[in-house]
Structure 1
């Protein structure tokens, strides 16, 4: 006897194990977490929020496993490699888009540079490294990402709980729906990828529309990046970094001194570190290592250190600096 296709399908489905057909239970919402309830009640007491309204918003989000996956250090850390890192940001596409971004926003960049003392190319390069000039601002719900890290990632729970608080205050100040704001898996927002606390401390209404909008206003993003650097100690008209040549291996103490400039350029010169650095300056020795390659050395000034306040990585700061230089050099006069 021949069986119809429909009958064959029915028999196949009944033969499947129950574990394959049963629905996977959804994670409880954050509103069911006692720590989140306590957090909402605390914000009600300290900042005048309505705790029930907050819990209604937390009821619409759940812990995001992808956020935890992305924030965790790799189980088998790879070696630092400047050779691998640099091409991600130093490439023709990012340079060409940077030139176009500068040309399209020349007036805002000039105004920000004049007001805060930060060169236009540095502002452009930071936005280029962060989001490729606003093209990649993140697709995670910021409320969900921050709540996940605040309540489900113990290593940095205190930091992210503070940022979650700042985000809710920021949303109220700017009349934003917290559930609608998108950003990175770590909760960074907009064209320049400011964390909520940084946005409240450093961002500016640079387009004059009476609100700070880092997601929709390129002018606000430009002004905010410049002010962030200025507030962290940018020195107008001063250099960022210069290449260095070492006679042999560096003294470990030079690298242990860290990224803040504390070493004497003159003393380093006398000990075999050749450079064009101002001999009166304090500098940091920057090592850009690549496995199997000679380490590239630079001397970083205060402005290099300021760039690391945006992202605490010498690779990041050097990428910003070199991208800025490449854009400036190719920018039509």
Structure 2
């Protein structure tokens, strides 16, 4: 799932700026052989069968390129980031997705307390409603990162183990499963470990299929958020007007809400939030433009558990609001997704 990628992309790969064709085949790598034997001992796999699967893949140069951050990273820019996810195409397709899967979305809200528009928006941001789920072999991608990306090797070896367990449990051919360059799978882009922990058989066919079952994808997104503390019928974020530059301590505070609204109001912040609430200050920066400030509640924080980025969480929230408004109005193509909480931002 993409919720882990923000942290991963902060880690460089300069120590491994070598062509992957100089790297040994997986089955010539002692670490891979040890890994296969370890899974045999701990989980009852057949190590010979595992090594046969590893023999059919190679370290993937493109995976290593994509996981590496750009040589000249751009400044954070909400102005650049926002239109990637909040645009006419995603709004209109989100309305269609909601209409087509209305019964399942209502059932997910009933079971888990997560609004339909939030589920729809996450799937819209992740894969544009299942249209772009990734074309990398998951086994090859995870093995490449597990054994040729040393700074995150532990994480990716764990996910590789989880993937092999997931494939066995669901009777999948590990060599046939496709996903993102980092090993995220299916319509909601869950990492294998997240699928095993939070995936749900929501269509009742006795298996969790996040690639082929929209029902399973919808139920699993809702369950993921519920398990991470979603608060039904509670707010997500509201705009905030600051009298000047924010106190650096507000920006440096945890993305987990810890700032009392009443205290912020006494220091000049103007907001419609309940003075008794606790929030995080979200700064949506764009170089050369005034920073846009919001107050994020616990549900905003929960969305960041899917992808640890305030830009990501705000994109999900604003796309959800735009889709909900379009659904309510029943007018397709009526706005560009700018209207949020009754104001044009």
Partner of 2:16: none
SS of alignment partner, residue 286 of structure 2 = coil
Tell me, which stretches of 5 or more residues in structure 1 are unaligned?
A: 1-23
State how 1:1-333 maps to structure 2 within 5 Å. Answer: 28-332=24-328
TM-score, normalisation: structure 2: 0.89
Secondary structure of residue in 2 paired with 1:298: strand
The alpha carbon displacement at 1:74 in A equals: 1.2
Runs of 4+ in 1 over 6 A off after TM superposition: none
| SS of the residue 1:274 aligns to | coil
- Asked if the contact 1:130/1:192 (under 8 Å) is kept, the reply is yes
Deviations 1:260-303 (A, max 9, x none): 10000000000011101111111000000000000000000000
Q: Structure 1 residue 32: deviation in Å?
A: 1.2
Separation (CA, whole Å) in 1 of partners of 2:212 and 2:22 = 34
What SS does the aligned partner of 1:246 have?
Answer: coil
Tell me the CA shift for residue 319 of structure 1: 0.1
Deviation at 1:75, TM superposition (A): 1.2
SS of equivalent residue, structure 1 residue 284 = strand
Residue deviations 1:9-39, cap 9 Å, x none?
Answer: xxxxxxxxxxxxxxx9785421111100000
**Cα distance between partner residues in 2 of 1:243 and 1:26:** 52
Query: Which protein has the larger Cα radius of gyration, Structure 1 or Structure 2?
Result: 1
Residues of 1 paired with 2:97 and 2:230: CA distance?
A: 22
Look up the SS of the partner of 1:80 in the other structure. coil
Shift in Å, 1:258: 2.1
CA offsets 1:91-123 (integer angstroms, 9 cap, x no match)? 000000000000000000000001000000000
Tell me what 1:13 maps to. Answer: none
Alpha-carbon distance between aligned partners in 2 of 1:182 and 1:64, rounded to the nearest angstrom: 14
Distance in 1 between the 2:206 and 2:140 partners? 28
Aligned-CA RMSD value: 1.1
Cα offset, 1:73, TM superposition:
1.2
Residue correspondences, number: 310
Q: Report the TM-score when normalising by structure 1.
A: 0.92
Equivalent in the alignment of 2:336: none
Deviation at 1:306, TM superposition (A): 0.1
Contact (CA 8 Å) 1:29, 1:60: kept in 2 or not? Answer: no
2 CA distance for matches of 1:98 and 1:173? 32
Q: Is the 8 A contact 1:245 1:274 kept in 2?
A: yes
> SS at the partner of 1:331?
helix
1:297–1:56 CA distance, 2 compared to 1 (3 A): same
Gaps of 5+ in 2: 1-19, 331-345
